[in-house]
Amino acid sequence: MTAYILKRLISLVPVLFGLSIIVFLVMAMIPGDPATAILGSYATSENVARINRDLGLDKPLIEQYFIWISNVLQGDLGRSFALNRPVIDEVLERFQATLILAGVSLVFCSIIGLLAGVVSAVRQFGWVDRTVTFAVLAGISMPSFWLGLILILLLAVKWQLLPASGMYAIYGGGGLRDLLLHLILPAATLSVVAAGIIARLTRAAMLEVLRQDYIRTARAKGLAERRVIWRHAFRAALVSVIPVIGIQAGFVLGGAVYIETVFQWPGVGAMLVKAISTRDILLVQGGVLVVAASYVLFNLAADVLQTMLDARIRT
C-alpha cells in the first residue's frame, strides 16, 4: 500500500507542473494591461513602466514563468499590489473559509447522494425510484447560482429563517451556532448538483451489483435483506462511486467561486472575483494554483480510499 501511495505521489509531479503552466498562461493571455488596471487614474507612462518592472512583466514570457515558478517552489507566491500583503497569507486565510464550505457541502452531498442512490436501486421502478430520479434530474439541471438566489429570496428575505450572507453575523456574531446557521444556505446550494450526480451513479452501481450471483447466494442462505444490501451490495458498489465523489470534490471547490459571490462568503472564490476585476495577477495565480492543487490531492485521496476497499486495483 505504501509503495502504491508513493507511486501515485510521484505521478502527481508532472500533473502539478503542467497545472502551473496552464495557470500562468491563462493569466498571461487575458487582454489588457495589469499595470494600467492597478494604477487607474495614476497610469502615466512612467508609472506603468515602473509597475511592469516591479512585476517582471517587461521580461519575456518564458522568463516570467521560471521566475514565478521558482518563487512558488520556495513557498513565495508574490505580493498582492491591491491588498499590499503577501499572496500566500491572503490565500491561506481565505482558503480556510472555502474548505469549511466545500467540506460541509461534500459531506452533505455524499450522504444524500449515496442514500438516495441505494434506496432508488432497491426500490427500482417503484414510486420511490421515480421520485428520486425526478429529483436527481431536476437537481442536475438546475443552475446553482439561480438556486442560491431563490433560497435567499424565500428562506432569508421572505420567511427570515436563515441569514442571507456572510460567515458570521455582523453584530453580535461568532461561535459554532452562528457559523452553522450561515453555512446552511450556501452548503445546500453547492451540494445539489453533486448530490444528484452521486445518486445517479450510485443507483447504477447498485443495480449492477444486485444482479451478481453472490448476492443471490447471500439471499438464498437466508441473510437479512438489510445485511445483504448494506454489508455486501453497498460495499461493492461504493468502490465504483468513490472516484466520482473525488471528482465532485473538485466540482464543489470550483463551484465555490460563484456560490461565495452569491452568499458573500469570505473564501477564495470571492477573493478571486475581486482580484480578477482589479487585475491583481499574482493573487489570481496564487489562488487558482492552490485550489487546483487541492483538487488534485482530493482525487489522490479518493484513489487511495478506493484501493483500500478493493485491493485488486493495486495489481
Tens digit of each residue's pLDDT (9 = 90 or more) over 110-141: 999 999 999 999 998 899 999 999 999 998 88
CA 82 to chain centre: 26
pLDDT of residue 129: 92
Cα–Cα distance, 222 to 168 (Å, whole number): 53
pLDDT of residue 161: 93
Strand partners, 85: 80
Please compute the mean of the pLDDT values over residues 20-41 and round it to a whole number: 78
Question: What percent of the chain clears pLDDT 90, i.e. is strictly above it?
Answer: 43
pLDDT of residue 313: 62
CA R_g for the chain: 24
CATH class of domain segment(s) 88-314: mainly alpha
pLDDT of residue 282: 87
Residue with cell string 446552511: 184
Cα–Cα distance list, 25 to 14, 32, 137, 289, 305 (Å): 17, 14, 36, 12, 33
What is the residue extent of each domain of the chain? 2-87, 88-314
- Per-residue pLDDT for 314 more than 60? no
Question: What percent of the chain clears pLDDT 70, i.e. is strictly above it?
Answer: 96
Q: Do 245 and 198 meet the contact criterion of CB atoms below 8 Å apart?
A: yes
Give SS3 for 80: strand
Cα–Cα distance, 156 to 164 (Å, whole number): 5
Tens digit of each residue's pLDDT (9 = 90 or more) over 239-294: 889 988 988 888 888 887 789 989 999 999 889 988 888 888 889 889 988 988 88
Cα–Cα distance, 263 to 185 (Å, whole number): 8
- Per-residue pLDDT for 315 more than 60? no
Tens digit of each residue's pLDDT (9 = 90 or more) over 256-271: 778 998 999 999 988 9
DSSP state of 267: S
Q: Do 201 and 117 meet the contact criterion of CB atoms below 8 Å apart?
A: yes
Cα–Cα distance, 125 to 202 (Å, whole number): 16
Q: Does 313 or 276 have the greater pLDDT score?
A: 276
Burial category of 117 from C-beta neighbours within 10 Å (exposed 0-12, middle 13-18, buried 19 and up): buried
Q: Do 239 and 303 meet the contact criterion of CB atoms below 8 Å apart?
A: no
Mean pLDDT computed over every residue of the chain: 87
- Per-residue pLDDT for 156 more than 80? yes
Cα–Cα distance, 290 to 95 (Å, whole number): 9
Q: Do 315 and 309 meet the contact criterion of CB atoms below 8 Å apart?
A: no
- Per-residue pLDDT for 5 more than 90? no
Element (H, E) at 232: none
Cα–Cα distance list, 303 to 4, 7, 60, 241 (Å): 10, 12, 39, 11
Note the pTM of the prediction, 2 decimals. 0.87
Tens digit of each residue's pLDDT (9 = 90 or more) over 172-223: 667 889 999 999 999 999 999 999 999 999 999 999 999 999 999 998 888 8
pLDDT band at residue 295, thresholds of 50, 70 and 90? confident
Q: Do 296 and 16 meet the contact criterion of CB atoms below 8 Å apart?
A: yes
pLDDT of residue 183: 94
pLDDT of residue 153: 95
SS3 content of the chain, % helix, strand, coil (to 5): 80, 0, 20
